[in-house]
Structure 1
Amino acid sequence: MWRLCRLLLICGLALLLAGAGAAPRGVVLIPLQGAIGPARADFVERGLVHAREAGAALVVLQMDTPGGLDVAMRQIIQAILASPVPVATFIAPSGSRAASAGTYILYASHIAAMAPGTNLGAATPVQVGIGGGPERQDGKADKRAASEAAGQAQQQTALEKKQVNDAAAYIRGLAQLRGRNADWAERAVREAVSLSADEARAEGVIDLVARDVPELLRQLDGREVDTAAGRQRLDTRAATLSRFDPDWRDRLLAALTDPSIALILMMIGLYGLFFEFSNPGFVLPGVVGAICLLIGLFALQLLPINYTGLALLLFGLACLLAEAFLPSFGILGIGGIVAFSIGALLLVDTDVPGLGVPVWLVAALAASTALFVFGVSGLALKARRRPVVSGAEGLAASTGVMLEAADGDEDGFGWASVQGERWRVRSERPLPPGTPVRVTGRDGLTLTVAPLDDTQGADR
C-alpha cells in the first residue's frame, strides 16, 4: 500500500512539472512614442534586458514616431540585433507612423507589423530633393527651369551624399538580414517614399497587418524566427502580456534631454552665478545656478549641438550682462539679444520634430532677458540721478538743535546736534541752547549754521 501511494505521488509531481514546463512564456510590450532621442534609446535597451531576464517569449515594440537622432536609432537597432528574445515592431494604433528612424528600427526587427491606417517611410537623413522642371506645350522642358534644377543639383554637398549613401547601405543591409524588400528600403532613403499598411505588406516590407496586440499575438503563434540565440518557435496564443513602462529615471532623462528644458536650465544657471558673483555671500543663487548649469551642459552633450549656435548664445548673454555695467546706451543690449536669439535657434543641429528649440521659447527668453537687463540698467541710472543723502553732501540743508550757545563772532563757536551727531558749529548770530538751526555750509569739521526760522523766511 505504501509503495502504491509513493508511486502515485511521484506521478502527480511529474505531471505538475510537465504542465509547468509546457506553460507559455510571457510577452513584454514596450511602448516607443515620440521623437527618438537618448532617453528613449536607453528605455528600449533596458526593456530588452528586462524581457531577457524575465524569460519572455517575445517583445512587442509598439511604435509611433516621427523619427529621431541617428545615434539613438543605431543604439536601439544594435540592442535588437543582439537580443536573444525575438522583437516584433508593431506600428500601432491606427493613425500612427514610423517615419525616418522608425523605418530603420522596423527593418531591423525580427518581425515587422502594422495596424490599418498607419504608414512608414520617408527615411532620408538629409533633404536632398531636386524638383523637375515644368514642360512646355510642345513637350520640351523649360530651359530656365532645367538650369535651376541643375543649379540645385550642384548645391548638393559631398557630406550630404555620404550621409545618404551610408543610410541607404545601412537599411539595405538590414533588409537583406531579415529577408525584406531591400529595393523599396533604398528608395525610402533616397526618394523619401512612404507606404500604408496594406501597401507595405504587398511590397514585402512587413510581415503582417493586425488591428491590435492580441490579434498580432494570435497571428504570430507558431512562427519561427532567427535570433542571436538561434532559431526559435513562437508560442504566443495563450501568452500573458505585461507592459514595460518608463519609470522616473526615464521620465527625468527625457525631460533633461529636451532642448527647451536644457536651454532654460542653462539660463537659470548663468543668472544664478551672475547674482552670486555680483552679491557674494548669498550662497543659494550660486549653488542653484551651478547645479542647473551642470545639468544643462549634461543634457546638451547628449544632443547634436551646433557649437556656432552655442558660442553665439554665450556671447549674447555676455553682452546682455555687460549692458548692466557699461554705459553703451543700449548697443550691447541690442546686440546681445540678436546674438542670443540666433544662437538659440541654431543650438540643436537637427530637423527632427520634437528635438528643436521652438521659436516662441526663444522669443520669450530673449524678451524676459532684455526686460531684466534693461530694468536693472534703468534702476541703476535712476539711483545715480538721486540726490546724495549721506556723507558730506548729505549734511547740506540738514537741520539740528543747538546744544551749547554760539556767540555770533568769527572766533565764537558752539555745539549742535545734527543728524544725531554732535558737531562744532559757527554762526553769524548768537544762538542760545535749544535753538533749531539749519546747516548752510561746512569747513572741515566745523559746520556753518543759521537759525531755522531765518532760512525758512529766506525761502519764502
Structure 2
Amino acid sequence: MRKILLIFIALIFISTNIVLAEENETLVLKLKVEGAIDPIVADYVARGIAEAKENNATALIIQLDTPGGLDLAMRKIIKDIQSSSVPVITYVYPKGARAASAGSFILIASHIAAMAPGTNVGAAHPVSIEGRDVSEKIVNDAKAYIKSLAKLRGRNVTLAESFVVNSTSITAEEALEYNIIDIVAEDYPSLLAQLDGKRVENKTLKTKNAKIKEIPMNFREEILHIISNPNIAYILFMAGIYGIIFELANPGAILPGVVGGICILLAFWSFQALSITSTGIALILFAIALFIADLKAPTHGILTAGGIISLLFGSIMLINVEKTKFIKISLKVILPSILLTLLFFIFAIGLAIKAHKRKPTTGKEGLIGLVGEVKEDLSPEGMVLIKGEIWKAKAKGDKTIEEGKKVKVVDVRDLTLIVEEV
C-alpha cells in the first residue's frame, strides 16, 4: 500500500513539473513574408502581432524576403510594429533573400533588425513604371520617413537616407558594420542565441531555448496575396479582356464570357488596392472598344492599331505611382501582353477579312452560280439536280432546256431556281 502511495505521489510531482515547464517555456511566434508588400501582408502582420500579444509571446519574428511593395501597406505594417507591446524582430532569411524598397523601411523600423549571410538590404528609391525617377516630392517624402525610422531605432541615418536617394544596396555584413541592423545570424538557433539577453525598451529577451511557432497565412490570405501582385493582376485583366472580346465576337459561347468576367473582377479587386488611375482605365476600355469594332467591321487593322497604342499607354499609366511609390507593373509583363494582343488581332482580323471576301455557301446567295443538271425538261419549268438535291427550276427567258443539259443558277425566286444553259 505504501509503495502504491509513493508511486502516486511521484506521478503527481512529475506531471506538475511538466505542466510548470510548459507554462514557463519561452514562446516566440514567427511570420513568413515573401513577395510584394500589399494590404494582405499588412493584415497578416497585424494578425500575427495580435496573436503574439494574446499568447504572451516573448517576441515576434517576421521572416522577410521582398522586392518591395505598396507604400500604404508598408506604413501600416510599420505603425503596427511601433505600437506593438511584443518586441518585433525582422529577419531577412534565408540566404539569397532581400529587403528591398519597402522591405528596407520595415527592417529599419523593427525593434531588432537581423539578416542572414548572403542577403541584402536597400535600393529603396521610388521609381515609375518605366523605371525612371519619380517626382522630387515623392523622393523627399520617402527620404524623410526612412530618416525618422532610423533615428527612432538608433540606426545609421545617413546610410538609410542613401537607400532612398542613391538606391544604395548593401550586404548583411555591411549592414551590421554600418549600424543598419543589430544581428547577422546564420540560422534560427543562432538568431535566438544572439537575441537572448538583448534589451528592447523595458524588456529583456530570454530566447536561448525558446520554442518557435509559425503562424502561416491562411488559405484566403494566400490566394489574395497572389492576385494582389500587380503583374498577376494585370495578366488577369488581360485574360479577362480576351474572354469578353471572344464572347462578344461569338455570342452564345458563354464559357469565355464567364471566365473573362471572373478574371476582370479579380483584377479590379487587386487594382483597388494598387490605386489605379481613371485615365489608364479609360484608355484600356477605349482599346477594347476599338478591338471589338475591328472584329465586327474589319478596317484592315486600322482600329486595331489604334487599340494597341491605347492599350500600351493605358497599361503604362494604370498605376498611380504618386501613391504606390515602391510598386509597379513590370514592362516585362506589359510588352509581351501587348505583343500577344497584336498577334491575336492580326490573326482574327485576317480571318474576318477572308470570311467577308468568301462567297456565301448557304441560303439564296449560296445557290447562285452553282451548276447542275436538268432532270426534267424545262419548258420553261421543270426539275434540276443541284449538289445532290432536286429543285424546281425555270429557264431564264422562258426558254426550253432539254433533260440532261447542264445549267447554272442565276437567281432564286421563292423556292424556284432561275437557270440558264451552260
Q: TM-score range by the shorter chain?
A: 0.7 to 0.9
Q: Report deviation, 1:295.
A: 0.8
Distance 1:109 1:219 in 2: 16
Whether 2:334 is the aligned partner of 1:359: answer: no
**How far 1:201 sits from its partner (Å)?**
4.0
1:218 counterpart residue number: 193
**In structure 2, distance between residues paired with 1:444 and 1:18:** 99
Deviation at 1:277, TM superposition (A): 3.1
Secondary structure in 2 matching 1:338: helix
Provide the C-alpha distance between the structure 2 equivalents of 1:108 and 1:443, rounded to a whole number of angstroms.
Answer: 84
TM-score by length of 2: 0.80
Going from structure 1 to structure 2, the CA distance change for 1:208 and 1:321 (only over 3 Å counts) comes to same
Counterparts of 1:306-385 in structure 2 under 5 Å? 306-350=277-321, 355-385=327-357
Could you say if the C-alpha distance between residues 120 and 368 of structure 1 is closer, same or farther in structure 2, counting changes exceeding 3 Å?
A: closer
Q: Do the aligned partners of 1:269 and 1:289 also contact (CA within 8 Å) in 2?
A: yes
Once the two structures are superposed, what CA deviation does each residue of 1:226-265 show, in whole Å capped at 9, x if it has no partner?
3xxxx43322111122333444434322321222322222
Q: 1: CA distance between counterparts of 2:357 and 2:223?
A: 49
Distance 2:413 2:184 in 1: 99
* Paired AA for residue 160 in structure 1: E
1:294 corresponding residue in structure 2: 265
**Inter-CA distance 27–193: structure 2 relative to 1 (3 Å threshold):** same
* Greater Cα shift, 50-59 or 186-195: 186-195
User: Residue type of the partner of 1:379?
Assistant: L
Residue 69 of structure 1 corresponds to 70
State the SS of the aligned residue for 1:316. helix
Partner of 2:237: 266
Correspondent of 1:243 among 202, 205, 214: 214
Whether the 8 Å contact between 2:33 and 2:63 is mirrored in structure 1 is yes
> 3-state SS of the aligned residue for 2:62?
strand
Moved more, 79-88 or 200-209: 200-209
Q: In the alignment, residue 375 of structure 1 is paired with which amino acid? A: F
With over 3 angstroms needed to count, the CA separation of the structure-2 counterparts of 1:326 and 1:102, relative to structure 1, is same
- Which amino acid is 2:297 matched to? L
User: Do structure 1's residue 120 and structure 2's residue 121 form an aligned pair?
Assistant: yes
Counterpart Cα distance in 2 of 1:166 and 1:449: 84
Contact 1:118 1:196 in 2 (8 A): yes
Q: Which amino acid is 2:251 matched to?
A: P
Q: CA RMSD in A?
A: 3.8
Decide whether aligned partners of structure 1 residues 198 and 447 sit closer, same or farther in structure 2, where only a CA change above 3 A counts. Answer: closer
Number of matched residues? 409
1:7-406 matched pairs, under 5 angstroms: 12=13, 15-16=16-17, 19-20=20-21, 23-125=24-126, 160-161=136-137, 163-182=138-157, 184-186=159-161, 188-190=163-165, 192-193=167-168, 196-226=171-201, 231-350=202-321, 355-393=327-365, 394-403=367-376, 405-406=377-378
Counterpart residue identity of residue 107, structure 2: L
* Shift in Å, 1:306: 4.2
TM superposition shift of 1:449: 4.9
Shift of 1:291: 1.1
For residue 101 of structure 1, what is the amino acid of its counterpart? A
Tell me the SS of whatever aligns to 2:197.
coil
Which stretch shifts more, 198-207 or 62-71?
Answer: 198-207
Cα distance, 1:118 vs structure 2? 4.3
Aligned-residue offset at 1:10: 11
The aligned residue for residue 438 of structure 1 is 407
Q: Does the CA-based 8 Å contact 1:77-1:108 persist in structure 2? A: yes
- % identity of equivalent residues: 39
Counterpart contact for 2:301–2:349, Cα < 8 Å: no
Q: 1:198 to 1:337 in 2, by over 3 A?
A: closer
Structure 2: distance between partners of 1:110 and 1:31: 17
Output the CA distance in 2 between the equivalents of 1:360 and 1:190: 25
Is this contact kept in 2: 1:325–1:377, CA < 8 A?
no
- 1:284–1:95 CA distance, 2 compared to 1 (3 A): closer
Contact conserved, 2:31 with 2:63, CA < 8 A, in 1? yes
Distance 1:331 1:279, change over 3 A: closer
Read off the aligned partner of 1:416 and give its amino acid letter. M
Partners of 1:72 and 1:183 in 2: CA distance: 25
Over 3 Å counting, the alpha-carbon distance change for 1:232 and 1:333 in structure 2 is same
Cα 1:21–1:104 change in 2 (3 A) is: same
Letter in 2 for 1:109: S
Distance, in Å, in 2 between the alignment partners of 1:340 and 1:358 is 15
Q: Matched residues in 2 for 1:14 and 1:428: separation?
A: 117
CA distance in structure 2 between the partners assigned to 1:284 and 1:243 by the alignment: 41
CA deviation profile, 1:337-361 (whole Å, cap 9, x unmatched):
2222233234334599995434343
Give distance in 2, aligned partners of 1:22 and 1:448.
101
Distance 1:12 1:448 in 2: 112
In structure 2, C-alpha distance between the alignment counterparts of 1:373 and 1:391, rounded to whole Å: 29
Q: Which runs of 5+ in 1 are unaligned?
A: 128-155, 456-460
Q: In 1, distance between residues paired with 2:10 and 2:370?
A: 113
Residues 177 and 24 of structure 1: is their aligned pair in 2 closer, same or farther, counting only changes over 3 Å? farther
